[in-house]
Structure 1
Amino acid sequence: MSNLSKRRLKAWIRLLGVTRGAEAHLRDYLRRNHETTLPRFDVMAALYRRREGVTMSELSRMLLVSNGNATAVVDRLEKDGLVRRQPVATDRRTVKVALTPAGQAAFETQAAGHEAEVDRLFSGLSEADLDALTEILKRMGARE
């Protein structure tokens, strides 16, 4: 294995560690400060972006999870009054899910806190650091 190959492997391990650490921190933050979970937050974020609602299949694709996982989270959010399901008039087998007004308000509060927490996590990075990191990640994403 070349020296460059070893350095790339170390960079990957460091990137993974930072990602996992930040995700664990945000999971804990959401649980403690908003009494919610990261999967619930992710579902609400997807629905917030698509206010008109989405089918369960669309939601699963947006989140890169199985229909079963998305359904379980939506069931709990519906029970809490944060989302509603509506049958699609043209296809009775298809159901759209959307945030309720209470869900929109709850998400806006959670999202503001989440953004502030991410800002805190990244506070050690300057604008130049962020520009460089963004450029590097874009280049890596373009290689896939």
Structure 2
Amino acid sequence: MIEMEKLPVNVDEKHSKSRLRLWLKILGVSQYIQSDLRQKFRVEFNSTLPRFDVLATLARYEEGMKMSELSTALRVSGGNVTGIIDRLIDDEFVERTVMPNDRRASCVSLTALGRKEFEVQAKAHEAWVNELLISLDDDSLHILSHQLDAIIHHVVKD
């Protein structure tokens, strides 16, 4: 167990508890929104949020992506993506081709049916998120977005 004296103490003590409460609120809101979206995808499309994420990522790459690139873009393991891709192929939303210069690698891309399905789901997704965040006016959206960008900039040090 780590002793408290050995932890770094470069934290602004005055705001420490407030920042912790804020983090818990952000986490709670994020979990609530994800839960709501998962339910809506299940009910409306007999699908899942991870499947939508795969379709959304592939929709940005007309020429397709290597499986490894897709895993990296989604920040998940290759094993997680493979199962989703297999089911999307069964549904004829995605096709997989072998890379001509590397027979061990495969490229996945949306089919025409997959692109149409993504467009339908993307419109529904946007409407659901809009409904969930409807209490934020233009000024609030701008301020909150700017503040979250500042957190991202601080946390993700490129």
Which residue in the other structure is 1:119 paired with?
A: 130
CA distance in 1: counterparts of 2:59 and 2:99, whole angstroms: 19
CA distance in 2: counterparts of 1:51 and 1:62, whole angstroms: 15
Which residue in the other structure is 1:109 paired with?
A: 120
CA distance in 2: counterparts of 1:16 and 1:94, whole angstroms: 37
Equivalent residues in 2 for 1:61-100, closer than 5 Å? 61-100=72-111
Q: Which has the higher contact order (CA 8 A, sep 6+)?
A: 1
Aligned residues: 144
Deviation at 1:22, TM superposition (A): 0.4
CA distance in 2: counterparts of 1:113 and 1:68, whole angstroms: 28
TM-score between the two structures when normalised by the length of structure 2: 0.89
Which residue in the other structure is 2:141 paired with?
A: 130
Q: Tell me the C-alpha RMSD between the 2 structures.
A: 1.0
1:40-67 residue CA offsets vs partner (Å, 9 max, x unmatched)? 0000000001111000000000000000
Which residue in the other structure is 1:42 paired with?
A: 53
For 1:124, what is the secondary structure of its paired residue? coil
* Percent of aligned positions that are identical: 42
2:15 is the counterpart of 1:4: yes
